[in-house]
Amino acid sequence: MQYRFETLTRDDFPMIHSWLAQPHIGGWWGSGPVETKLMDEDIESGKTDMRIVWDVPADHPFAYIQDYDTQTFDMPHYVDLPAGGRAIDTFLGDPEYLGKGHASGYLRQRAQQLIDAGAPCVVVDPSPENARAVAAYAKAGFEGDHTAPCEDGDPVRIMLFH
């Protein structure tokens, strides 16, 4: 499987809204209006690299992924990571792509791109209760089972890709 990662634009917001309304997102992300407001702010700040994931053979967008320097935001669970580490947040939006290995495929590809670009590590912080996300990250090559409180106090599982 091959994927491309196109820079998010405001024109993508209606698609993001429709994806976030899908039942499989299940409350792991906010509503479309809330999330796109945050994305709009991040477009302006440039602190977060936001991308739409495309299935190359099908020429079809199906997921959202973003990454940022682990030291950019006040996130206590990243304080011990090396300078230049990148954190990833993502969701697979199109339900037709669920259960087919696409999540682990694009996660592995994007994490490797970040490592190849000089990041010493790539980290994800799923809720320990989000079994689907934890499994996809593990299948993509992320490792770790340490749980720590994130910036809002909720527990997250720290998983690293080297």
CB neighbour list of residue 155: distance below 8 Å, 6 or more residues apart: 127, 128, 147, 148, 149
**Cβ–Cβ contacts within 10 Å for residue 52, how many?**
20
- The structural domains of the chain, ordered by start, are 3-161 (3.40.630.30)
What helix, strand, coil percent values describe the chain, rounded to 5?
A: 35, 30, 35
How do residues 104-160 score in pLDDT, each as one tens digit?
999 999 999 999 999 999 999 999 988 889 999 999 999 998 898 888 888 999 999
Range 50-76 average pLDDT: 94
